[in-house]
Structure 1
Protein backbone atom coordinates (compact mmCIF):
# COMPACT_ATOMS: atom_id res chain seq x y z
CA UNK A 1 0.00 0.00 0.00
CA UNK A 2 2.91 2.32 0.67
CA UNK A 3 3.87 2.10 -2.97
CA UNK A 4 0.38 3.05 -4.13
CA UNK A 5 -0.18 6.64 -5.11
CA UNK A 6 -3.50 8.34 -4.36
CA UNK A 7 -4.54 11.52 -6.12
CA UNK A 8 -4.91 14.31 -3.56
CA UNK A 9 -7.84 16.11 -5.27
CA UNK A 10 -10.05 13.13 -6.13
CA UNK A 11 -8.87 10.64 -3.56
CA UNK A 12 -8.64 8.01 -6.31
CA UNK A 13 -5.71 5.65 -6.56
CA UNK A 14 -3.60 6.09 -9.72
CA UNK A 15 -2.32 3.34 -12.01
CA UNK A 16 1.28 4.02 -11.19
CA UNK A 17 2.01 5.34 -14.66
CA UNK A 18 3.54 8.77 -14.91
CA UNK A 19 4.54 10.84 -17.91
CA UNK A 20 5.94 14.30 -17.68
CA UNK A 21 4.35 14.70 -14.24
CA UNK A 22 0.94 13.47 -15.40
CA UNK A 23 -0.62 10.46 -13.64
CA UNK A 24 -3.60 8.31 -14.72
CA UNK A 25 -6.45 7.71 -12.30
CA UNK A 26 -7.29 4.05 -11.81
CA UNK A 27 -11.04 4.44 -12.42
CA UNK A 28 -12.77 1.18 -13.39
CA UNK A 29 -14.88 1.02 -16.56
CA UNK A 30 -18.62 1.61 -16.05
CA UNK A 31 -20.47 -1.67 -15.48
CA UNK A 32 -22.88 -1.04 -18.39
CA UNK A 33 -19.89 -0.70 -20.74
CA UNK A 34 -18.32 -3.93 -19.46
CA UNK A 35 -21.55 -5.89 -19.87
CA UNK A 36 -22.04 -4.43 -23.36
CA UNK A 37 -18.56 -5.60 -24.28
CA UNK A 38 -19.34 -9.09 -23.04
CA UNK A 39 -22.57 -9.07 -25.02
CA UNK A 40 -20.72 -8.25 -28.26
CA UNK A 41 -18.41 -11.22 -27.64
CA UNK A 42 -21.41 -13.50 -27.20
CA UNK A 43 -23.01 -12.01 -30.33
CA UNK A 44 -19.84 -12.67 -32.36
CA UNK A 45 -19.71 -16.29 -31.20
CA UNK A 46 -23.39 -16.78 -32.03
CA UNK A 47 -22.94 -15.17 -35.46
CA UNK A 48 -19.99 -17.42 -36.25
CA UNK A 49 -22.12 -20.46 -35.40
CA UNK A 50 -25.25 -19.32 -37.28
CA UNK A 51 -23.68 -17.92 -40.46
CA UNK A 52 -20.79 -18.97 -42.72
CA UNK A 53 -17.80 -17.12 -41.29
CA UNK A 54 -14.85 -19.35 -40.38
CA UNK A 55 -12.42 -19.92 -43.27
CA UNK A 56 -11.21 -23.46 -43.91
CA UNK A 57 -8.56 -24.74 -46.33
CA UNK A 58 -10.80 -24.92 -49.41
CA UNK A 59 -14.13 -23.60 -48.15
CA UNK A 60 -15.80 -21.97 -45.14
CA UNK A 61 -18.11 -23.19 -42.43
CA UNK A 62 -21.71 -23.28 -43.74
CA UNK A 63 -23.33 -21.98 -40.59
CA UNK A 64 -26.24 -23.45 -38.62
CA UNK A 65 -28.82 -21.41 -40.63
CA UNK A 66 -27.36 -22.45 -43.99
CA UNK A 67 -27.48 -18.87 -45.31
CA UNK A 68 -25.61 -17.99 -48.52
CA UNK A 69 -25.42 -14.47 -49.98
CA UNK A 70 -24.42 -16.01 -53.31
CA UNK A 71 -27.54 -18.21 -53.32
CA UNK A 72 -29.69 -15.20 -52.39
CA UNK A 73 -28.19 -13.16 -55.24
CA UNK A 74 -28.69 -16.02 -57.72
CA UNK A 75 -32.34 -16.34 -56.67
CA UNK A 76 -32.89 -12.60 -57.17
CA UNK A 77 -31.27 -12.70 -60.62
CA UNK A 78 -33.37 -15.73 -61.62
CA UNK A 79 -36.52 -13.98 -60.43
CA UNK A 80 -35.67 -10.84 -62.41
CA UNK A 81 -34.86 -12.92 -65.50
CA UNK A 82 -38.21 -14.69 -65.23
CA UNK A 83 -40.01 -11.36 -65.00
CA UNK A 84 -38.01 -9.99 -67.95
CA UNK A 85 -38.91 -13.03 -70.01
CA UNK A 86 -42.58 -12.40 -69.36
CA UNK A 87 -42.30 -8.76 -70.48
CA UNK A 88 -40.18 -9.63 -73.51
CA UNK A 89 -42.69 -12.24 -74.65
CA UNK A 90 -45.46 -9.65 -74.46
CA UNK A 91 -43.38 -7.11 -76.38
CA UNK A 92 -42.59 -9.70 -79.05
CA UNK A 93 -46.30 -10.45 -79.51
CA UNK A 94 -47.57 -6.86 -79.70
CA UNK A 95 -47.14 -3.99 -82.16
CA UNK A 96 -45.32 -0.90 -80.92
CA UNK A 97 -48.51 1.13 -80.56
CA UNK A 98 -50.00 -1.40 -78.12
CA UNK A 99 -46.74 -1.60 -76.18
CA UNK A 100 -46.69 2.17 -75.83
CA UNK A 101 -50.30 2.17 -74.60
CA UNK A 102 -49.47 -0.23 -71.73
CA UNK A 103 -47.76 1.80 -68.95
CA UNK A 104 -45.92 -1.22 -67.50
CA UNK A 105 -44.66 -2.50 -70.85
CA UNK A 106 -43.78 1.02 -71.97
CA UNK A 107 -41.62 1.61 -68.89
CA UNK A 108 -39.86 -1.73 -69.39
CA UNK A 109 -39.37 -1.06 -73.13
CA UNK A 110 -37.92 2.40 -72.54
CA UNK A 111 -35.40 1.00 -70.06
CA UNK A 112 -34.41 -1.80 -72.43
CA UNK A 113 -34.31 0.55 -75.40
CA UNK A 114 -32.10 3.03 -73.54
CA UNK A 115 -29.61 0.26 -72.80
CA UNK A 116 -29.62 -0.97 -76.41
CA UNK A 117 -29.26 2.62 -77.67
CA UNK A 118 -26.10 3.22 -75.63
CA UNK A 119 -24.49 0.07 -77.00
CA UNK A 120 -25.57 0.26 -80.65
CA UNK A 121 -26.69 3.80 -81.57
CA UNK A 122 -24.79 6.31 -79.45
CA UNK A 123 -21.64 6.05 -81.60
CA UNK A 124 -23.48 7.93 -84.37
CA UNK A 125 -26.34 9.76 -82.64
CA UNK A 126 -24.46 10.59 -79.42
CA UNK A 127 -25.08 9.39 -75.88
CA UNK A 128 -27.89 11.94 -75.50
CA UNK A 129 -29.26 11.26 -79.02
CA UNK A 130 -28.49 14.86 -80.03
CA UNK A 131 -26.76 13.71 -83.21
CA UNK A 132 -24.05 15.65 -85.03
CA UNK A 133 -22.99 16.62 -88.56
CA UNK A 134 -24.53 13.99 -90.82
CA UNK A 135 -26.29 12.22 -87.94
CA UNK A 136 -29.86 13.29 -87.05
CA UNK A 137 -30.85 14.71 -83.68
CA UNK A 138 -33.51 12.35 -82.33
CA UNK A 139 -34.73 14.81 -79.68
CA UNK A 140 -36.30 17.37 -82.02
CA UNK A 141 -39.43 17.31 -84.19
CA UNK A 142 -37.59 17.09 -87.51
CA UNK A 143 -38.00 13.63 -89.07
CA UNK A 144 -36.86 12.64 -92.55
CA UNK A 145 -39.00 9.51 -92.71
CA UNK A 146 -41.70 10.23 -90.12
CA UNK A 147 -41.67 10.50 -86.36
CA UNK A 148 -44.61 8.40 -85.18
CA UNK A 149 -44.03 5.03 -83.55
CA UNK A 150 -44.62 2.93 -86.65
CA UNK A 151 -42.35 5.15 -88.76
CA UNK A 152 -39.53 5.10 -86.21
CA UNK A 153 -39.87 1.33 -85.84
CA UNK A 154 -39.65 0.85 -89.62
CA UNK A 155 -36.58 3.06 -89.90
CA UNK A 156 -34.73 1.23 -87.11
CA UNK A 157 -35.80 -2.19 -88.34
CA UNK A 158 -34.94 -1.73 -92.01
CA UNK A 159 -32.42 1.10 -91.99
CA UNK A 160 -31.70 3.73 -94.60
CA UNK A 161 -29.92 2.85 -97.84
CA UNK A 162 -28.95 -0.55 -96.43
CA UNK A 163 -28.56 -2.85 -99.43
CA UNK A 164 -28.93 -5.93 -97.23
CA UNK A 165 -32.60 -5.15 -96.45
CA UNK A 166 -35.23 -5.18 -99.19
CA UNK A 167 -37.52 -2.87 -97.19
CA UNK A 168 -34.91 -0.24 -96.39
CA UNK A 169 -35.67 3.45 -96.94
CA UNK A 170 -33.97 4.54 -100.11
CA UNK A 171 -33.63 7.93 -101.76
CA UNK A 172 -30.69 9.88 -103.06
CA UNK A 173 -30.33 13.52 -103.95
CA UNK A 174 -28.74 13.85 -107.39
CA UNK A 175 -25.49 15.73 -107.83
CA UNK A 176 -26.27 19.00 -109.58
CA UNK A 177 -22.63 19.82 -110.33
CA UNK A 178 -23.09 18.41 -113.81
CA UNK A 179 -26.62 19.70 -114.26
CA UNK A 180 -26.45 23.34 -113.17
CA UNK A 181 -23.74 25.90 -113.77
CA UNK A 182 -21.70 26.96 -110.71
CA UNK A 183 -23.45 30.35 -110.70
CA UNK A 184 -26.85 28.65 -110.79
CA UNK A 185 -25.87 26.48 -107.83
CA UNK A 186 -24.87 29.61 -105.90
CA UNK A 187 -28.23 31.18 -106.77
CA UNK A 188 -30.11 28.10 -105.61
CA UNK A 189 -28.12 28.03 -102.38
CA UNK A 190 -28.85 31.72 -101.81
CA UNK A 191 -32.57 31.02 -102.07
CA UNK A 192 -32.36 28.06 -99.68
CA UNK A 193 -30.44 30.19 -97.17
CA UNK A 194 -33.04 32.96 -97.50
CA UNK A 195 -35.73 30.60 -96.19
CA UNK A 196 -34.26 30.79 -92.68
CA UNK A 197 -31.60 33.51 -92.82
CA UNK A 198 -29.79 36.06 -94.96
CA UNK A 199 -27.62 34.92 -97.90
CA UNK A 200 -24.27 36.55 -98.62
CA UNK A 201 -25.70 38.04 -101.83
CA UNK A 202 -29.46 38.66 -101.56
CA UNK A 203 -29.56 39.68 -105.24
CA UNK A 204 -29.23 35.99 -106.18
CA UNK A 205 -32.36 34.91 -104.31
CA UNK A 206 -34.96 35.60 -107.00
CA UNK A 207 -33.13 33.65 -109.70
CA UNK A 208 -32.44 30.90 -107.16
CA UNK A 209 -36.11 30.60 -106.33
CA UNK A 210 -36.99 29.76 -109.93
CA UNK A 211 -34.12 27.28 -110.12
CA UNK A 212 -35.41 25.66 -106.94
CA UNK A 213 -38.91 25.31 -108.40
CA UNK A 214 -37.53 23.81 -111.60
CA UNK A 215 -35.05 21.37 -110.05
CA UNK A 216 -35.77 20.83 -106.34
CA UNK A 217 -39.48 21.28 -105.68
CA UNK A 218 -40.37 17.81 -106.97
CA UNK A 219 -38.74 16.34 -103.86
CA UNK A 220 -38.59 19.15 -101.31
CA UNK A 221 -41.95 20.68 -102.27
CA UNK A 222 -42.61 24.15 -103.63
CA UNK A 223 -42.69 25.47 -100.05
CA UNK A 224 -39.37 23.63 -99.38
CA UNK A 225 -40.90 21.82 -96.40
CA UNK A 226 -39.79 18.41 -97.59
CA UNK A 227 -41.44 15.11 -98.35
CA UNK A 228 -41.21 12.27 -95.83
CA UNK A 229 -42.25 9.63 -98.36
CA UNK A 230 -39.00 10.38 -100.18
CA UNK A 231 -36.86 11.25 -97.17
CA UNK A 232 -36.47 14.78 -98.52
CA UNK A 233 -35.65 17.15 -95.64
CA UNK A 234 -37.51 20.29 -94.69
CA UNK A 235 -35.34 23.22 -95.80
CA UNK A 236 -37.45 25.88 -94.13
CA UNK A 237 -37.04 24.98 -90.46
CA UNK A 238 -33.41 26.01 -89.80
CA UNK A 239 -32.49 22.41 -88.90
CA UNK A 240 -29.58 21.19 -91.01
CA UNK A 241 -28.17 17.68 -91.22
CA UNK A 242 -25.13 18.25 -93.46
CA UNK A 243 -24.23 21.79 -92.37
CA UNK A 244 -26.05 25.13 -92.27
CA UNK A 245 -23.50 27.50 -93.80
CA UNK A 246 -23.99 28.74 -97.34
CA UNK A 247 -20.83 26.94 -98.44
CA UNK A 248 -22.09 23.69 -96.90
CA UNK A 249 -25.38 24.06 -98.79
CA UNK A 250 -23.50 24.71 -102.03
CA UNK A 251 -21.44 21.54 -101.47
CA UNK A 252 -24.56 19.50 -100.76
CA UNK A 253 -26.26 20.72 -103.94
CA UNK A 254 -23.15 20.14 -106.05
CA UNK A 255 -22.02 16.74 -104.71
CA UNK A 256 -24.42 15.56 -102.02
CA UNK A 257 -23.39 13.17 -99.26
CA UNK A 258 -25.70 10.26 -98.49
CA UNK A 259 -25.60 8.59 -95.11
CA UNK A 260 -26.32 4.90 -94.46
CA UNK A 261 -28.10 3.58 -91.40
CA UNK A 262 -27.95 -0.20 -90.87
CA UNK A 263 -31.05 -2.36 -90.64
CA UNK A 264 -31.10 -3.50 -87.03
CA UNK A 265 -33.63 -6.35 -87.02
CA UNK A 266 -31.14 -8.91 -88.34
CA UNK A 267 -28.57 -7.80 -85.77
CA UNK A 268 -30.65 -7.23 -82.64
CA UNK A 269 -33.93 -9.03 -83.21
CA UNK A 270 -37.42 -7.61 -83.52
CA UNK A 271 -38.05 -7.39 -79.76
CA UNK A 272 -35.03 -5.14 -79.16
CA UNK A 273 -35.92 -3.03 -82.21
CA UNK A 274 -39.38 -2.42 -80.73
CA UNK A 275 -37.81 -1.33 -77.44
CA UNK A 276 -35.49 1.02 -79.33
CA UNK A 277 -38.45 2.52 -81.18
CA UNK A 278 -40.34 3.11 -77.92
CA UNK A 279 -37.24 4.70 -76.36
CA UNK A 280 -36.49 7.00 -79.29
CA UNK A 281 -40.14 8.05 -79.47
CA UNK A 282 -40.07 8.87 -75.75
CA UNK A 283 -37.18 11.32 -76.10
CA UNK A 284 -39.60 14.16 -76.81
CA UNK A 285 -39.47 14.57 -80.56
CA UNK A 286 -41.70 11.60 -81.37
CA UNK A 287 -45.08 12.37 -82.88
Structure 2
Protein backbone atom coordinates (compact mmCIF):
# COMPACT_ATOMS: atom_id res chain seq x y z
CA UNK A 1 0.00 0.00 0.00
CA UNK A 2 2.88 2.32 0.84
CA UNK A 3 4.28 2.05 -2.67
CA UNK A 4 0.82 2.74 -4.12
CA UNK A 5 0.49 5.91 -2.05
CA UNK A 6 3.94 7.08 -3.17
CA UNK A 7 2.97 6.34 -6.78
CA UNK A 8 -0.29 8.26 -6.33
CA UNK A 9 1.54 11.29 -4.98
CA UNK A 10 3.98 11.19 -7.88
CA UNK A 11 1.03 10.97 -10.30
CA UNK A 12 -0.66 13.99 -8.69
CA UNK A 13 2.54 16.05 -8.86
CA UNK A 14 3.09 15.03 -12.52
CA UNK A 15 -0.49 15.96 -13.50
CA UNK A 16 -0.31 19.32 -11.74
CA UNK A 17 3.12 20.05 -13.23
CA UNK A 18 1.77 19.25 -16.69
CA UNK A 19 -1.23 21.50 -16.10
CA UNK A 20 0.97 24.37 -14.97
CA UNK A 21 3.34 23.85 -17.90
CA UNK A 22 0.47 24.12 -20.39
CA UNK A 23 -1.55 26.90 -18.73
CA UNK A 24 0.78 28.35 -16.10
CA UNK A 25 0.87 31.82 -17.66
CA UNK A 26 -2.83 32.21 -16.84
CA UNK A 27 -2.06 32.19 -13.12
CA UNK A 28 0.23 35.20 -13.25
CA UNK A 29 -2.64 37.60 -13.82
CA UNK A 30 -4.78 39.36 -11.24
CA UNK A 31 -7.80 37.24 -12.14
CA UNK A 32 -8.48 35.14 -9.05
CA UNK A 33 -10.88 32.92 -11.02
CA UNK A 34 -7.91 31.20 -12.65
CA UNK A 35 -6.39 30.52 -9.23
CA UNK A 36 -9.67 29.07 -7.97
CA UNK A 37 -9.84 26.88 -11.07
CA UNK A 38 -6.34 25.59 -10.41
CA UNK A 39 -7.24 24.90 -6.77
CA UNK A 40 -10.31 22.99 -7.90
CA UNK A 41 -8.17 20.96 -10.29
CA UNK A 42 -5.80 20.07 -7.44
CA UNK A 43 -8.71 18.96 -5.27
CA UNK A 44 -10.32 16.87 -8.02
CA UNK A 45 -7.08 15.14 -9.02
CA UNK A 46 -6.11 14.44 -5.39
CA UNK A 47 -9.53 13.04 -4.43
CA UNK A 48 -9.72 10.95 -7.60
CA UNK A 49 -6.29 9.41 -7.15
CA UNK A 50 -6.73 8.53 -3.47
CA UNK A 51 -10.25 7.17 -3.92
CA UNK A 52 -8.94 4.97 -6.73
CA UNK A 53 -6.06 3.82 -4.51
CA UNK A 54 -8.48 3.02 -1.67
CA UNK A 55 -10.62 0.76 -3.80
CA UNK A 56 -7.68 -0.85 -5.54
CA UNK A 57 -6.23 -1.72 -2.14
CA UNK A 58 -9.64 -2.97 -0.98
CA UNK A 59 -9.97 -5.22 -4.03
CA UNK A 60 -6.49 -6.64 -3.40
CA UNK A 61 -6.88 -7.36 0.31
CA UNK A 62 -10.58 -7.71 1.21
CA UNK A 63 -12.33 -11.06 1.21
CA UNK A 64 -15.98 -11.65 0.42
CA UNK A 65 -18.30 -12.32 3.34
CA UNK A 66 -22.00 -12.77 3.99
CA UNK A 67 -24.72 -15.32 3.22
CA UNK A 68 -24.65 -17.04 -0.14
CA UNK A 69 -27.87 -17.32 -2.12
CA UNK A 70 -29.04 -20.82 -2.93
CA UNK A 71 -29.12 -20.17 -6.67
CA UNK A 72 -25.95 -20.69 -8.66
CA UNK A 73 -25.13 -20.08 -12.31
CA UNK A 74 -22.38 -22.26 -13.79
CA UNK A 75 -21.08 -22.90 -10.30
CA UNK A 76 -20.87 -19.19 -9.45
CA UNK A 77 -22.68 -18.17 -6.28
CA UNK A 78 -23.97 -14.74 -5.29
CA UNK A 79 -23.89 -13.11 -1.85
CA UNK A 80 -27.09 -11.65 -0.44
CA UNK A 81 -25.33 -8.57 0.86
CA UNK A 82 -27.22 -5.26 0.72
CA UNK A 83 -25.95 -2.58 -1.64
CA UNK A 84 -23.52 -0.03 -0.16
CA UNK A 85 -25.42 2.80 1.52
CA UNK A 86 -23.38 5.49 -0.19
CA UNK A 87 -23.93 3.94 -3.62
CA UNK A 88 -27.69 3.69 -3.04
CA UNK A 89 -27.96 7.30 -1.88
CA UNK A 90 -25.89 8.50 -4.86
CA UNK A 91 -28.12 6.56 -7.27
CA UNK A 92 -31.34 7.98 -5.78
CA UNK A 93 -29.81 11.44 -5.66
CA UNK A 94 -28.91 11.26 -9.34
CA UNK A 95 -32.51 10.41 -10.24
CA UNK A 96 -33.84 13.27 -8.07
CA UNK A 97 -31.35 15.68 -9.66
CA UNK A 98 -32.41 14.49 -13.11
CA UNK A 99 -36.07 15.40 -12.54
CA UNK A 100 -35.10 18.66 -10.87
CA UNK A 101 -32.95 19.62 -13.86
CA UNK A 102 -35.70 18.76 -16.35
CA UNK A 103 -38.44 20.64 -14.51
CA UNK A 104 -36.92 23.48 -12.48
CA UNK A 105 -33.15 23.62 -12.85
CA UNK A 106 -33.04 24.13 -16.61
CA UNK A 107 -36.29 23.17 -18.33
CA UNK A 108 -36.05 22.35 -22.00
CA UNK A 109 -38.49 25.15 -22.83
CA UNK A 110 -36.51 27.73 -20.85
CA UNK A 111 -34.54 30.65 -22.24
CA UNK A 112 -31.35 29.88 -24.08
CA UNK A 113 -28.97 32.27 -25.83
CA UNK A 114 -28.34 29.68 -28.54
CA UNK A 115 -32.07 29.16 -28.99
CA UNK A 116 -32.64 32.91 -29.21
CA UNK A 117 -29.87 33.25 -31.78
CA UNK A 118 -31.37 30.42 -33.87
CA UNK A 119 -34.83 31.98 -33.76
CA UNK A 120 -33.52 35.39 -34.78
CA UNK A 121 -31.43 33.87 -37.57
CA UNK A 122 -34.41 31.93 -38.97
CA UNK A 123 -36.59 35.06 -38.79
CA UNK A 124 -33.92 37.15 -40.53
CA UNK A 125 -33.45 34.57 -43.29
CA UNK A 126 -37.20 34.55 -43.95
CA UNK A 127 -37.22 38.34 -44.24
CA UNK A 128 -34.14 38.22 -46.48
CA UNK A 129 -35.66 35.63 -48.82
CA UNK A 130 -38.95 37.55 -48.97
CA UNK A 131 -37.23 40.89 -49.70
CA UNK A 132 -34.94 39.50 -52.39
CA UNK A 133 -37.28 36.91 -53.90
CA UNK A 134 -37.12 38.44 -57.40
CA UNK A 135 -34.10 40.75 -57.55
CA UNK A 136 -32.90 42.30 -60.81
CA UNK A 137 -29.67 41.10 -62.40
CA UNK A 138 -27.93 44.33 -61.35
CA UNK A 139 -29.01 43.83 -57.75
CA UNK A 140 -27.87 40.21 -57.82
CA UNK A 141 -24.49 41.19 -59.24
CA UNK A 142 -23.94 43.86 -56.59
CA UNK A 143 -25.03 41.47 -53.85
CA UNK A 144 -22.82 38.74 -55.28
CA UNK A 145 -19.78 41.00 -55.22
CA UNK A 146 -20.31 41.67 -51.50
CA UNK A 147 -20.69 37.95 -50.73
CA UNK A 148 -17.68 37.12 -52.93
CA UNK A 149 -15.42 39.60 -51.12
CA UNK A 150 -16.31 38.03 -47.75
CA UNK A 151 -16.53 34.33 -48.59
CA UNK A 152 -14.46 33.77 -51.75
CA UNK A 153 -11.75 36.41 -51.93
CA UNK A 154 -9.50 34.79 -49.26
CA UNK A 155 -8.62 32.17 -51.91
CA UNK A 156 -9.67 33.67 -55.25
CA UNK A 157 -8.48 37.19 -54.40
CA UNK A 158 -10.43 40.45 -54.39
CA UNK A 159 -9.91 40.65 -58.16
CA UNK A 160 -11.03 37.00 -58.60
CA UNK A 161 -7.77 36.14 -60.35
CA UNK A 162 -6.69 33.59 -57.76
CA UNK A 163 -3.85 33.94 -55.26
CA UNK A 164 -0.50 32.54 -56.38
CA UNK A 165 -2.27 30.04 -58.58
CA UNK A 166 -3.86 28.27 -55.60
CA UNK A 167 -7.42 28.96 -56.69
CA UNK A 168 -9.21 29.18 -60.03
CA UNK A 169 -8.89 32.47 -61.92
CA UNK A 170 -12.57 33.28 -62.36
CA UNK A 171 -11.99 36.11 -64.83
CA UNK A 172 -10.74 33.65 -67.48
CA UNK A 173 -11.81 30.31 -68.83
CA UNK A 174 -10.70 27.19 -67.04
CA UNK A 175 -7.09 26.28 -67.80
CA UNK A 176 -6.02 23.41 -70.03
CA UNK A 177 -4.38 21.73 -67.02
CA UNK A 178 -7.68 21.78 -65.13
CA UNK A 179 -9.58 20.32 -68.08
CA UNK A 180 -7.01 17.52 -68.39
CA UNK A 181 -7.39 16.79 -64.67
CA UNK A 182 -11.17 16.41 -65.00
CA UNK A 183 -10.84 14.15 -68.05
CA UNK A 184 -8.39 11.89 -66.24
CA UNK A 185 -10.01 11.92 -62.79
CA UNK A 186 -13.68 12.47 -63.49
CA UNK A 187 -16.06 14.71 -61.55
CA UNK A 188 -18.67 13.12 -59.32
CA UNK A 189 -19.25 15.77 -56.65
CA UNK A 190 -22.25 17.48 -58.30
CA UNK A 191 -24.72 14.60 -58.01
CA UNK A 192 -27.50 16.83 -56.68
CA UNK A 193 -27.53 18.62 -60.04
CA UNK A 194 -25.94 16.03 -62.35
CA UNK A 195 -26.73 12.61 -60.78
CA UNK A 196 -24.70 10.56 -63.22
CA UNK A 197 -21.42 12.35 -62.63
CA UNK A 198 -18.48 12.00 -64.97
CA UNK A 199 -16.33 8.85 -64.74
CA UNK A 200 -12.55 9.16 -65.12
CA UNK A 201 -10.63 8.42 -68.31
CA UNK A 202 -13.45 8.87 -70.80
CA UNK A 203 -10.53 9.50 -73.14
CA UNK A 204 -7.47 7.29 -72.82
CA UNK A 205 -5.15 8.47 -75.61
CA UNK A 206 -2.85 11.22 -74.38
CA UNK A 207 -3.04 13.12 -77.68
CA UNK A 208 -6.84 13.08 -77.61
CA UNK A 209 -6.81 14.36 -74.05
CA UNK A 210 -4.50 17.25 -74.94
CA UNK A 211 -6.44 18.11 -78.10
CA UNK A 212 -9.81 18.17 -76.31
CA UNK A 213 -8.53 20.05 -73.24
CA UNK A 214 -6.88 22.65 -75.49
CA UNK A 215 -10.11 23.06 -77.46
CA UNK A 216 -12.29 23.45 -74.37
CA UNK A 217 -9.86 25.76 -72.55
CA UNK A 218 -9.48 27.83 -75.70
CA UNK A 219 -13.17 28.68 -75.80
CA UNK A 220 -14.29 26.14 -78.43
CA UNK A 221 -12.42 28.02 -81.13
CA UNK A 222 -10.93 26.45 -84.21
CA UNK A 223 -11.57 22.98 -85.54
CA UNK A 224 -13.29 20.64 -83.13
CA UNK A 225 -11.18 17.52 -82.40
CA UNK A 226 -12.76 14.23 -83.40
CA UNK A 227 -12.27 12.95 -79.85
CA UNK A 228 -14.64 15.63 -78.55
CA UNK A 229 -17.45 13.44 -79.86
CA UNK A 230 -17.07 11.37 -76.67
CA UNK A 231 -17.67 14.53 -74.60
CA UNK A 232 -20.50 15.74 -76.83
CA UNK A 233 -22.59 12.72 -75.85
CA UNK A 234 -23.26 14.43 -72.50
CA UNK A 235 -22.07 18.02 -72.82
CA UNK A 236 -23.56 18.53 -76.29
CA UNK A 237 -21.78 19.35 -79.52
CA UNK A 238 -21.70 23.03 -78.52
CA UNK A 239 -20.52 22.27 -74.96
CA UNK A 240 -23.57 23.89 -73.38
CA UNK A 241 -24.48 20.75 -71.45
CA UNK A 242 -27.74 18.90 -70.82
CA UNK A 243 -30.04 19.26 -67.84
CA UNK A 244 -29.41 16.59 -65.16
CA UNK A 245 -26.75 15.01 -67.38
CA UNK A 246 -23.71 17.28 -67.68
CA UNK A 247 -22.88 20.96 -67.04
CA UNK A 248 -22.18 23.73 -69.51
CA UNK A 249 -18.42 23.70 -70.11
CA UNK A 250 -18.53 26.67 -72.43
CA UNK A 251 -19.58 29.33 -69.88
CA UNK A 252 -20.20 29.59 -66.18
CA UNK A 253 -23.87 28.93 -65.33
CA UNK A 254 -25.89 29.49 -62.17
CA UNK A 255 -26.54 25.75 -61.77
CA UNK A 256 -22.86 24.86 -62.00
CA UNK A 257 -21.70 27.61 -59.64
CA UNK A 258 -24.41 26.70 -57.10
CA UNK A 259 -23.38 23.05 -57.32
CA UNK A 260 -19.73 23.96 -56.68
CA UNK A 261 -20.69 26.15 -53.71
CA UNK A 262 -22.84 23.44 -52.15
CA UNK A 263 -20.56 20.46 -52.77
CA UNK A 264 -17.06 21.90 -53.05
CA UNK A 265 -14.70 20.83 -55.82
CA UNK A 266 -11.42 18.97 -56.14
CA UNK A 267 -9.28 20.00 -59.06
CA UNK A 268 -5.75 20.18 -60.39
CA UNK A 269 -4.79 23.04 -58.07
CA UNK A 270 -6.38 21.80 -54.86
CA UNK A 271 -9.60 21.24 -52.91
CA UNK A 272 -12.33 23.85 -52.57
CA UNK A 273 -14.48 23.36 -49.44
CA UNK A 274 -18.26 23.12 -49.59
CA UNK A 275 -20.25 26.21 -48.58
CA UNK A 276 -23.52 24.38 -47.99
CA UNK A 277 -25.43 25.99 -45.15
CA UNK A 278 -23.34 29.16 -45.24
CA UNK A 279 -25.14 30.73 -48.20
CA UNK A 280 -28.85 30.68 -48.97
CA UNK A 281 -30.26 30.17 -52.46
CA UNK A 282 -30.45 33.90 -53.23
CA UNK A 283 -26.83 34.42 -52.21
CA UNK A 284 -25.72 31.51 -54.39
CA UNK A 285 -27.53 33.07 -57.37
CA UNK A 286 -25.93 36.40 -56.53
CA UNK A 287 -22.41 34.91 -56.47
CA UNK A 288 -23.15 33.20 -59.77
CA UNK A 289 -24.34 36.48 -61.31
CA UNK A 290 -21.20 38.26 -60.15
CA UNK A 291 -18.84 35.55 -61.42
CA UNK A 292 -20.59 35.52 -64.80
CA UNK A 293 -20.25 39.30 -64.98
CA UNK A 294 -16.48 38.99 -64.61
CA UNK A 295 -16.22 37.13 -67.88
CA UNK A 296 -18.33 39.73 -69.62
TM-score by length of 2: 0.32
Counting helix residues as a fraction of each chain, which structure ranks higher? Answer: 2
Q: Which has the higher contact order (CA 8 A, sep 6+)?
A: 1
Q: Which has the larger radius of gyration?
A: 1
